[in-house]
Amino acid sequence: MVRKIFAKGVLFAVNLLMALLIVAPLLYCVSVSFMTEPELFSYPPAFLPGRLQLQNYFSALAFAPVFRFILNSLVVAAACTAGQLFFGALAGYAFAMHEFPGKYWLFLLMLSTMMIPGQAIILANYLTVANLHLIDSYAALVLPYLTSAFCLFNMRQAFLKLPGELYESAALDGCGSMTFFLRIGLPLVKPQLGSLGVYTFLAVWNQYLWPLLVTNKTEARTVQIGIGMLQSSDGNAYGPIMAGVTMVLIPSVVVFLVGQKSLVSGLTAGALKG
Amino acid sequence: MTGASVRYASRRTAKARSSEASRPAARLRKPKVPLAPYLYILPSILLFGLFVFYPFIKTLSLSFFATDQGGAAGLWVGLDNYKNLVSSRDFLMSLRVTLEFAVKVVAGSMLLGFVTAILANEAVPMRSLFRTVYAMPLAVSSACITVICIFILNPTMGILNFLLGSQTRWLNDVNTALNSVAAVTIWLYIGINYIFIIAALQMVDATLYESAAIDGAGFFRKHIHITLPGISPTLFFLMIVNVLNSFQSYAQVNLMTQGGPGKFTRVIVYQIYLEAFQYNRFGAAAAQSVVLFLIMLALTLMQFRLERKVSY
């Protein structure tokens, strides 16, 4: 009995240590964002700020339009998420619940896009966007990521799970294909939509290389590039830099906390089959 | 007369037969090719065509040219870009760096993902809090954690040197720079590795553990002999994902070391970016992109082969 309690205690302690190690950089970042300059440069270095003061946040906002960056990223992430979910669900619906000539080859074609890594085509995409004069536009940031084979594949799995008779009985009642999709199909696959939505939002919010390439004007830049700008312009202004990072982390961490159950179940449901 | 009418009758029947096939009543019996599914997949096809297939082909074709600054293909050079790569010390160095980087990142992140999954699978108080923390790196962007770590690794002001009592210039020393970038990347990948491993852990047959306990297997033994084989498909899947992701790393290098010191952290993607946007040699960069694609394809295929040999 004592051994069991001891073992539990050890496991709890190790868990605690591990969790603290992992979350330490984030906690430290938030802590530093409230520190004053003397505290930052003090030796030994401070772990906690003396009191919560917002000067670093004001400095960060004065240096770079952080709220503008957040707005840009929100627009891009929301648009890409909506697009990937809708077009992925639509195509997944077509592949899962319809028969049409060439279905097998078309599906393979879509799937093959997952084999081509982004880095292999990012240069050519940049040239396409530049030649269309779309640099610094939302279109440039959104269009290449408006649909994804990952979402398509997962949505097809989701629709495959729906009973086939559902569609047939709806058709007998005179329900059109699109109406079925909007009124019956989509609501039934909400869990998968939820988890894919969280995953896609986070992935687009965290993008770095693509926004770096297709935006030049400061007002057009997104949140991660903004962080890079804060860092490279005055590398010693750690207080405002950490304040900027904290502001940028808040939306993604909130989305993660709210959607983590959905995200985890959605990610693992597909991968563990067979 | 009879013969002619017979011939006329049979000709008429043939003509009547063919016209019968095109009359509306007969067409209903043939299956209609539905239009709707094609319309549903059309947006995706168009977007893939423009932003995946076209750039892929364009990259291939661009790699055979020397380009001007606008990226337009200027001069046909055939396989010269590729020949230069083989003899280019810069590119070969970046291959070596990327390989070393990938090995460290994959090993480190899978190990930590495994450890956190094992820890979070046990019944301990505050388990859901631990589970949230272990998955959280998934939500953090590479830029954010990189910038935080730049401060932590600062030689004079950074908290790491203070805790270790050392003076190491983590990002500037040839021996520690790549490890520092790798460590940040490992942190980033802990989340996804943890999520998949713990899900796989929960699918391992509990009775196996019970019989192991009866046979007196300890903590480590049971994990080596039951857990690892049991979750091996997931481990192979994660290995592929981790390798592919690490080969595409960019933000950490761009912000922390800019490929330095010297060229010791210049991973392939960073080399490609330099080639294209600093040296303005889009043709050479395209060739490097093609090589990158081939390497990633080869690594993925190799891992599939390995899985078939090893998996249960």
CB within 8 Å of B95: residues ≥ 6 apart: B268, B295
The residue of chain A with its CA nearest to that of B51 is A144
CB pairs under 8 A between A and B: 260
Q: Are A140 and A134 in contact (CB under 8 A)?
A: yes
Return the pLDDT at B31: 57
* B248 three-class SS: coil
Chain A, window 40-69: residues with a beta carbon less than 8 angstroms from a chain B beta carbon: 40-41, 43-45, 47
- Please answer yes or no on whether B285 and A209 come within 8 Å at the CB atom: no
Chain A, window 154-193: residues with a beta carbon less than 8 angstroms from a chain B beta carbon: 177-178
The shortest C-alpha distance from B23 to chain A (Å) reads 24
**B304 has a chain A CB within 8 A of its CB:** no
Which class for B40: exposed (0-12), middle (13-18), buried (19 or more C-beta within 10 A)?
A: buried
- Predicted confidence (pLDDT) per residue in A61-79, tens digit: 988 899 999 999 999 999 9
- Please answer yes or no on whether B144 and A28 come within 8 Å at the CB atom: no
Please tell me the distance from the alpha carbon of residue B160 to that of residue B174, in angstroms, as a whole number.
18
Chain B, window 73-112: residues with a beta carbon less than 8 angstroms from a chain A beta carbon: none
CB within 8 Å of B54: residues ≥ 6 apart: A124, A128
Helix/strand/coil (H/E/C) assignment for every residue in chain A: CHHHHHHHHHHHHHHHHHHHHHHHHHHHHHHHHCCCHHHHCCCCCCCCCCCCCCHHHHHHHHHCCHHHHHHHHHHHHHHHHHHHHHHHHHHHHHHHHCCCCCHHHHHHHHHHHHHCCHHHHHHHHHHHHHHCCCCCCHHHHHHHHCCCHHHHHHHHHHHHCCCHHHHHHHHHCCCCHHHHHHHHHHHHCHHHHHHHHHHHHHHHHCCCHHHHHHCCCHHHCCHHHHHHHHHHHCCCCHHHHHHHHHHHHHHHHHHHHHHHHHHHHHHHHHHCCC
Report residue A85 as tokens.
Answer: 């979910």
The shortest C-alpha distance from B301 to chain A (Å) reads 11
- Please answer yes or no on whether A242 and B139 come within 8 Å at the CB atom: no
pLDDT digits (tens), chain B, 312 positions: 444 444 444 444 545 454 444 445 444 554 567 888 899 999 999 999 999 999 999 999 888 888 766 656 678 888 888 888 888 888 889 999 999 999 999 999 999 999 999 999 888 888 999 999 999 999 999 999 999 999 999 888 888 988 888 888 898 888 899 999 999 999 999 999 999 999 888 888 888 888 888 887 777 777 888 888 888 888 988 998 899 899 988 999 999 998 878 888 999 999 998 888 888 888 889 999 999 989 888 888 888 888 777 765
- Please answer yes or no on whether B120 and A29 come within 8 Å at the CB atom: no
Kindly provide the ipTM of the predicted complex, given to two decimals.
0.87
- Please answer yes or no on whether A202 and B138 come within 8 Å at the CB atom: yes
Please tell me the distance from the alpha carbon of residue B91 to that of residue B266, in angstroms, as a whole number.
9
Nearest to A207 by CA among B141, B219, B295: B141
Straight-line distance from the first to the last Cα atom of chain B, in angstroms, rounded to the nearest whole number: 82
The shortest C-alpha distance from A132 to chain B (Å) reads 12
Nearest to B130 among A19, A125, A128 (CB): A19
- Please answer yes or no on whether B119 and A8 come within 8 Å at the CB atom: no
**B231 has a chain A CB within 8 A of its CB:** no
Q: Are A209 and A121 in contact (CB under 8 A)?
A: no
**A119 has a chain B CB within 8 A of its CB:** yes
Asked, as a colleague might, if the bond just before A44 is cis with ω within 30 of 0, I would say: yes
Q: In 10 A of CB B152, how many CB atoms? A: 22
Chain B, window 11-70: residues with a beta carbon less than 8 angstroms from a chain A beta carbon: 33-34, 36-38, 40-41, 43-45, 47-48, 50-56, 58-59, 62, 70
Q: Show residues of chain A in contact with B249, CB under 8 Å.
A: none
* Chain A contact probe: residue of B32, B33, B52 with most A CBs at under 10 A: B52
The shortest C-alpha distance from A46 to chain B (Å) reads 9
Helix B89-121 vs helix A2-33: angle between axes, to the nearest 10 degrees? Answer: 130
Helix A238-271 vs helix B177-201: angle between axes, to the nearest 10 degrees? Answer: 40
Q: Show residues of chain A in contact with B47, CB under 8 Å.
A: 87, 143-144, 146-147
Helix B282-310 vs helix B232-247: angle between axes, to the nearest 10 degrees? Answer: 170
* Chain B contact probe: residue of A20, A31, A39, A123 with most B CBs at under 10 A: A123
Nearest to A28 among B125, B129, B152 (CB): B152
**B134 has a chain A CB within 8 A of its CB:** yes
DSSP class of residue B267 equals -
The shortest C-alpha distance from A268 to chain B (Å) reads 6
- Predicted confidence (pLDDT) per residue in A84-133, tens digit: 999 999 999 999 988 899 898 999 899 888 888 888 888 899 999 999 99
- Please answer yes or no on whether B51 and A127 come within 8 Å at the CB atom: no
The residue of chain A with its CA nearest to that of B152 is A25
Nearest to B247 by CA among B303, B197, B172: B303
Q: Show residues of chain B in contact with A238, CB under 8 Å.
A: 151, 157
- Please answer yes or no on whether A249 and B71 come within 8 Å at the CB atom: no
Nearest to B34 among A41, A98, A209 (CB): A98
Q: Spell A46-79 as b/e; 16+ CB within 10 A means b.
A: beebeeeeeebbebbbebbebebbbebbeebbeb
Q: Show residues of chain A in contact with B296, CB under 8 Å.
A: 117, 120
Question: What is the mean pLDDT, run by run of 10 residues, along chain A of 274 residues?
Answer: 85 94 94 88 82 90 90 96 95 91 90 84 91 92 93 90 86 86 89 91 93 92 91 85 94 93 79 44
Nearest to B122 by CA among A8, A218, A72, A175: A8
DSSP class of residue B67 equals E
